[in-house]
Chain A
Amino acid sequence: MPAIRHASKRKAPPAGFSDIEDDLLIFSNKMKDAENASTTNVPRHKVHWPIFQISHQRSRYVYELYYEKEAISKELYDWLLKNGYADAMLIAKWKKTGYEKLCCLRCVQTKETNFNSTCICRVPKAQMKEDQAIECVSCGCRGCASSD
């Protein structure tokens, strides 16, 4: 059994964490609510949508703070990634061209689909046949192509 690590004995987060602490707390509260929300009468495929969405929002928040606003230090960013405040794999995708707005990693996982293709939300709006409102099966994304 691993030793219990008491909160007071933990190493303090890097400087600057107090600035974003409140907003991260809001995200974690939202996440808790989403986790505890009842799933009765929710379609099977929609059950995890709010989880994906909140996770995406939080990752985006951290990503923007570090890469776009340069509001947090490298140490703090690493600490946040290490402590699960943001999805490092998703952020890694956002740095690639064409994936700047990617909603979730499942949507680009071609091996998981029947026709070895990406999710419908990856299709640019301009290329859609008609103006249909789509919500992707995996995370409820309404379109995350970079050109949208």
Chain B
Amino acid sequence: MLKSTHKAVAPPPLPEGWTEHKAPTGHSYYYNATTKQSTYTRPVASPAPIAPPPAAPLNPSQSFLQYQAVGSPIPSAGPGFNSFPQQQPFQGRGFQGQRGGRDDHDGPRNPRPQPTDKPKSRHPIPGCEPWVLVHTKLGRRFVYNTAKNQSFWRIPDKLKDGILQLDQQRIKEKAEALQREKEPAASGGIPGAAEKPATETREEQQNGGDAEDSSEYEEVEVTDDEEEENPPKRQRTDEDAPDEPIEFNEDDIAFQLAAMGQEYGLDPGEYDDGNMEGWEEGAQGLELTEEDAVALFKDLLDDFRINPYSPWEKLVEEGKLVDDTRYTALTTMKARREAWDEWSREKIKQLRELKTKEEKKDPKIPYLAFLQKHATPKLYWPEFKRKYRKESEMRDSAMADKDREKLYREHINRLKLPQSSLKADLLTLLKAQPLSTLNNTTIASHLPPAVLTDIRYISLDPAVRDQLIESHIATLPPPPASAAEEESEEAAKERMEKQRRQKALEDRERHVAEEKRRQKRNLELGKGRLREEEAEIARAMNVTKKGLKGHLMGEESAEKDS
């Protein structure tokens, strides 16, 4: 595995006196300072001043010697840690684990070119001072005692704890570095968000792997973890590839889906995220009713600021709406057209209402402002008209050309008057304004239209005029509480009305009460009379013997009298 991926053979060292340089083109060339020679071809140490064989295994005898060393567990890398010639001892040694014993015999006979390994980095092992842990270019490692110049592939038991500590520290650092890398990326959007969980899981796996490694340090020196350590070797081999989808597991996919959904503003129901129970309410259960569809289409029209006066064909031809998803809320062109008709009718109605509410702007105001800016006594009206015929103020159809001419001539005539009279005119104009429109709360830039449409307003130079107006405004009293007055008037009216109603009510009540009293009196009177009559009858009925006798006697006496 290691052999297949690693090709780089360290170039043989330069002979003494030669130095390597980079040409501006990127080629490297070699220069000998003593002989003043320069060449593109790498000078080989043919004179062999220090005589390190450039490719060690090519020499059978040497490789034999090398394999002699295989038997001993000593990598012997230590002394010349940074110097090239010391690379040979690694060679066979590193591959021993994979090749097994067979190479012990094959090696000398048909020596295969082996990639040279060399130390890449060294870390002091905490707790065991003279010892350092050396990582090689091929991702293997051994321990080296700097004091005794000893190195071992097999890590002694007493160093295990220190190395474990070192490994943990390194992993932590790496995780932090990754995190720091991810932080800016995460704000970037989905890719960062998706990657993060994946890398984290991978990291966890590494940790697990390391823990396993630590238990069997003696057996396996080359671990997966160490492969990771070696970035140039990171080309993925076939064994690694199937791991990838497992690392990016379902949770991650769900997470990414959710992130995308959020980004596009979708409900979870609109994409299938696997767990139906988890959907929020209304994700898919809500049916889009017809009214909703029409309303959606109308919203779309609103959002695109479509002119409600435009013909439908124009809308279709422009094709602005087609890209929006709301366009598909209505499925047929006929339905869309109907929705459009309805919408435009409503919209036009709204616009008309708005327009009626909006106060009508006098076309004279912009025209007079324009005159003040451009009119000069040097130009006659036809010249002036011709010169500015393209200005919007001159083309405004709301104002007749005759009026324009009249105003222009008047303005030009007034420009010839002395300043003092102009000022006096302006003051009289200002004084003529009612207090309700012009008072000390009026802002100089928002004068009443009556002032703005007057020719006397533009006769003076703006700087002079504005000062004059401001000083005049400052002298004015505050606005009369006209609005409040009006309101109170209204209220008074209301109150009076109310009082009148109240009074009327009272009147009626009084009237009714009087009526009642009269009735009562009548009743009483009737009762009294009735009682009287009753009494009379009772008296009449109450005829005693004596009474009757007396009566009869009375009658007799009356007869006698007659």
Contact = CB atoms under 8 A, between A and B. Distances in A.
Contacts of A22: 307
Interface residues of B, number: 17
A20 interface: yes
Contacts of B348: 69-71
Interface residues of A, number: 18
Would you call the interface of chain B mostly helix, strand, loop, or mixed?
helix
A83 interface: no
Given A12-B397, A12-B398, A13-B397, A23 B307 contact: yes
Given A9-B401, A12-B397, A19 B345 contact: no
Interface string A30-64: 00000000000000000000000000010011001
6 contacts: A8-B395, A20-B309, A22-B307, A61-B311, A65-B309, A69-B345
A23 B341 contact: no
Contacts of A68: 341, 345
A146 B308 CA distance: 26
Nearest to A69: B345
Contact of B344 (A8, A13, A26, A69): A69
A91 to B, nearest CB: 15
Would you call the interface of chain A mostly helix, strand, loop, or mixed?
helix
Contact of A69 (B341, B395, B397): B341
Nearest to B385: A8
Contact of B401 (A8, A13, A19, A69): A8
A20 B308 CA distance: 10
A71 B341 CA distance: 12
Interface string B308-343: 111101100000000000000000000000000100
Interface in A1-38: 8-9, 12-13, 19-20, 22-23, 26
Contacts of B313: 57
Contacts, number: 36
Given A8-B401, A12-B398, A13-B397, A23 B345 contact: no
Contacts of A70: 345, 348
Contacts of B395: 8
Nearest to A26: B314
A135 B307 CA distance: 32
A126 B302 CA distance: 38
Contacts of A9: 401
A61 B308 CA distance: 12
Nearest to A62: B311
Interface string A62-79: 001100111100000000
Interface in B393-417: 395, 397-398, 401
Nearest to A8: B401
Contacts of A71: 308-309, 344-345, 348, 352
A98 to B, nearest CB: 21
Contacts of B344: 69, 71
B311 A57 contact: yes
Given A23-B307, A65-B309, A69-B344, 9 more contacts: A12-B397, A12-B398, A19-B309, A19-B351, A57-B313, A64-B311, A68-B345, A69-B341, A70-B348
A57 B348 CA distance: 20
Interface in B339-369: 341, 344-345, 348, 351-352
Contacts of A69: 341, 344-345, 348
A12 B313 CA distance: 28
Nearest to B311: A61
